[in-house]
Structure 1
């Protein structure tokens, strides 16, 4: 097998910084489930403004994964070393966060569900057709990690297939994937039952939502689209359009999603964000490659991007448990009595929890993620075996942190699981 390039590519600090903004979208989406604003109008307005933010953040990370893994692919790497790096990048943090969430659930005295807990630990929960595997995961956000695992397993084959595409036809393939991301869920839904109802807010039944949103193969459209965009940029075929127009297009797509479309709709979630966010990622990569400065490429943003994977893993159970603690409770599966605050106090509370999550994320990154990558992601001795496969060097700060969101729903109709 051969990768796409021999020379180590330039770093992509702007995409590293953008990772934190995507993780922040997931965070602010989950805040809505706290019902922390005592003013009903403020709470309703907040929910309306952020109801699709988590889905947008998830889609961003899936596209980014494909883009960055392709961007840093090298000829001198092996399949084994690629999997080794991915393992030590993802698993240690996941285990620590899983155990922390498990401890909080045990402290809350709630009953645990063994099949769901085991599936969550081994990151296979998104393959399970029952909604319980999302609702009762020990650390609900990691459903998207089980999707990312499919990306990593299939990447050595996918990079070979993408590498054979004619540069002149790359844009056609990208457009085709965007179209398929709309058409395939619509077609599949015609063969699925209209019940049972989804435990998450949204117009579709659970079978339709699971296949369209949580089922790992269905998210390959975003991952492969990211790969093709990376090839377009590397081939010099991306138009010289700045990142600002692409950012405005992304914001416009989000506004359309909350104004004109129902919340958490399985049909549009990938399609409406795939094109604008993919173009934004590509535009920022071009800026980085040409040495142009960007807002997300500043040192503070890059630092936040580096801890964004840890942030993603721990933010949900910290958010719910700190809110429950205001009333002297444990969060459990989200079934605690929510304490509403005045708008100024609610804003201060959310900002305080955000700061706490950043601090703990930095500790997890510094004490677990970075040491594990430094000491175990590469063999200590010997050369590389024959055969090659693309991968992302451990030292490169642009390695995509898998992120997404899901939550232990505060109520059966909560629009969680994003």
Structure 2
């Protein structure tokens, strides 16, 4: 519990509980925060395609950006949920939001990289791209990390989360704060339980073999293994809507997150951290990301300004979904030209030597991806989403007059 009183000259500290907050209030800082997470994923993929000296261990932490998106997705969906909204309309809005750009993100790299696919693998590459477009890629263990765009598996996870959401949102929002707190603890324990079970079933090795490990891959990247992160965001948003206020401000929540990442970095050479299939990155960061999301949301609700809510950051946040799906393609095309490698497997089998000369290429990839996604958002993503939402995603729930704002769109 925290007091609402504060020292003279300091910003007011929100109480541990406050009047219930109506849904739909825009939280622009969360939109800006999406760009930070997308950039972290971009940096993570530099370690494979355009590595820089002495950065691998730090940039590898950017893989947790996917965990952030899962938590944020659950939070924003619950935040904008309106009583009485039809499941069919909800699914229509989710389709309008994710599918048009996903189709580009899965098929464009296939067209660009198909000439470099090894003989006999063409049919498999096409099939995996189709599975990504049809949102079932993550249910086939051998396909999760395959194909020409290794980021699309997360959208199959999101589709599963969306399928569940209409059936859990209303019930979750009706629960007490005590119940929600217990649910949050249980979800984190489930996340750790999955990881410990995998460690027992597939003991970490200094040089693991990645053959015959479908169960391990499925347990790490599948919707079943990641749904707890999404549900953690759902529970956090429900608690905030019911009036709960975290005692941690944005500075404190960010500091706790930084401490967690620092511990992971210090343990970077441990066997269970050396390879992503064994890593507990999501288990450590998911609750910390939830605290950051809640703190940032609270700041917006209090009316305080934030650099995350400035116009440039909101623009970048709006472009971040396309950025997430396309950045690997741009990175690969540049790295492929620089190092004369034709397929992704060549980068994984024979790692590129880290060099500061790669920094210029990395910056070029960042600029190209950002510009491409800005154009895509302006002339394809947003217009097509609006067109589809009118036809298959109309709400039948009443608008929230107290906010005067459109409900915020879900990020991923």
Which TM-score bucket, shorter chain as reference? 0.7 to 0.9
Q: Tell me if the contact between 1:107 and 1:330 (Cα under 8 Å) persists in the aligned partners.
A: no
Partner SS state of residue 66, structure 2: helix
User: Take 1:125 and 1:210, find their aligned partners in 2: how far apart are those partners?
Assistant: 12
- 1:169 equivalent in alignment to 2:179: yes
Match of 1:243 in 2: 250
**Where does residue 112 of structure 2 map in the other structure?**
104
Matches within 5 A, 1:157-306: 157-187=167-197, 190=200, 197=208, 199=210, 206-207=213-214, 209-260=216-267, 261=270, 262-263=273-274, 264=276, 266=278, 268-306=280-318
Q: 1:410 aligns to what?
A: none
1:73 is displaced (CA, Å) by 0.3
CA contact (8 A) 1:193 1:207 kept: no
1:117: how far off? Answer: 3.2
Aligned pair partner of 1:14 in 29, 49, 60:
29
Q: In the alignment, what sits opposite 1:335?
A: 346
Counterparts in 2 of 1:73-92, with a 5 A limit?
73-92=81-100
Say if 2:27 is the partner of 1:27: no
After superposition, what is the alpha-carbon deviation per residue over 1:281-340, rounded to whole angstroms, capped at 9, x for unaligned? 00101111111112212211111110000001110011011122225x464334268876
SS of equivalent to 1:51: helix
SS at match of 2:305: coil
Residues in 2 aligned to 1:26 and 1:384: alpha-carbon distance in whole angstroms: 33
- TM-score if structure 2 supplies the norm length? 0.83
What TM-score does the superposition give when structure 1 sets the normalisation length? 0.81
Aligned residues of 2:145 and 2:153 also touching (Cα < 8 A) = no
Q: Deviations over 1:138-182 (max 9, x none)?
A: 322101111111100010011133123222332222122112211
Secondary structure of the 1:140 match is coil
For the structure 1 residues 380 and 115, does the alpha-carbon distance in structure 2 shift closer, same or farther, using more than 3 Å as the test?
closer
Q: 1:317 — aligned with what?
A: 329
CA distance in 1, matches of 2:390, 2:379: 18
Alignment RMSD (CA, Å): 3.0
> Is 1:151–2:161 an aligned residue pair?
yes
Long gaps (5+) in structure 2: 1-19, 399-404
1:348 equivalent in structure 2: 360
Change beyond 3 A, Cα 1:257–1:209: farther
Distance 2:341 2:321 in 1: 25
Deviations 1:160-212 (A, max 9, x none): 33123222332222122112211233236545698995549xxxx83453243
Where in structure 1 are there 5+ consecutive unaligned residues?
388-393, 402-418
- Relative distance call for 1:51 and 1:36 in structure 2 (3 A) is closer
Alpha-carbon distance in structure 1 between the residues aligned to 2:70 and 2:200: 26
Q: Does 2:62 correspond to 1:59?
A: no
Partners in 2 of 1:244 and 1:46 — Cα distance? 25
- C-alpha contact 1:253 1:272 (8 A) present in aligned 2: yes
Matched, 1:49 2:61: no
Distance 1:304 1:208 in 2: 37
Alpha-carbon distance between aligned partners in 1 of 2:167 and 2:203, rounded to the nearest angstrom = 34
Number of aligned residue pairs: 376
Give, in angstroms, the shift of residue 379 of structure 1.
Answer: 3.0
